[in-house]
Chain A
Amino acid sequence: DIQMTQSPSSLSASVGDRVTIACRASQGISNYLAWYQQQPGKVPKVLIYAASTLQSGVPSRFSGSGSGTDFTLTISSLQPEDVATYYCQKYNSAPLTFGGGTKVEIK
């Protein structure tokens, strides 16, 4: 089965900073990659799907890129409400594995 590896596992950045999170698939998954945000105490929500398509209602400071095995989630200007754990997920075929998560905090 395909494994999804995220890095870093946590990061601390200042408000306004550009933040980048990486996700690597152990085999190619084309662009069947989604990013979820889970704020503390809440259920996850889809931010990006098809590797780079922004879900409706998600702020434009979030963006995604990549294809095949290497993907990136970027927050162009970190805001206090972005404190959360971010997960990538492959969804080309079952099992629809999540990455291990990246916890983002404000410095």
Chain B
Amino acid sequence: EVQLVQSGAEVKKPGESLKISCKGSGYSFSNYWIGWVRQMPGKGLEWMGIIYPGDSDTKYSPSFQGQVTISADKSISTAYLQWSSLKASDSATYYCARQDAGLFHYWGQGTLVTVSS
């Protein structure tokens, strides 16, 4: 069974750094793109970017380029999303999802990030 398990909720202060994770199981992690999707409170889905764990090829949405870093460690089947300096506007739920021919069929449970002073 394909599973994506994300790290738990985080509460951070503005300016702090953060790295959240997404661990895949039940399939060959290296061979499927993993994407990250933001959902701000009460708002829609925003595609942030994707990574191919096999070679770490990464593509970002222009809206998120330079704002976050997507990485992966195929040896432990885990993808990451990180911020170097959080802002209040980064408060959202972040989903990872496995991409199959462009479609997101398998999703993590979501990680709620709250940034507040």
* B: number of interface residues (CB 8 Å): 23
Q: Which residues of B contact A49 (CB under 8 A)?
A: 103
Cβ proximity bits A3-39 to B, threshold 8 Å, 1 near / 0 not? 0000000000000000000000000000010101010
Among candidates A1, A87, A91, A100, residue contacting B103 with C-beta atoms closer than 8 Å: A91
- Inter-subunit contact B44/A98 (CB<8 Å): yes
Query: What is the bound-complex CA distance between A36 and B45, given in angstroms?
Result: 10
* A: number of interface residues (CB 8 Å): 23
Among candidates A45, A92, A98, residue contacting B47 with C-beta atoms closer than 8 Å: A98
8 chain-A/chain-B pairs, Cβ below 8 angstroms: A32-B102, A36-B45, A43-B95, A91-B102, A94-B59, A95-B47, A96-B50, A101-B44
A residues sitting closer than 8 Å to B (CB atoms) are: 1, 32, 34, 36, 38, 43-46, 49, 85, 87, 89, 91-92, 94-101
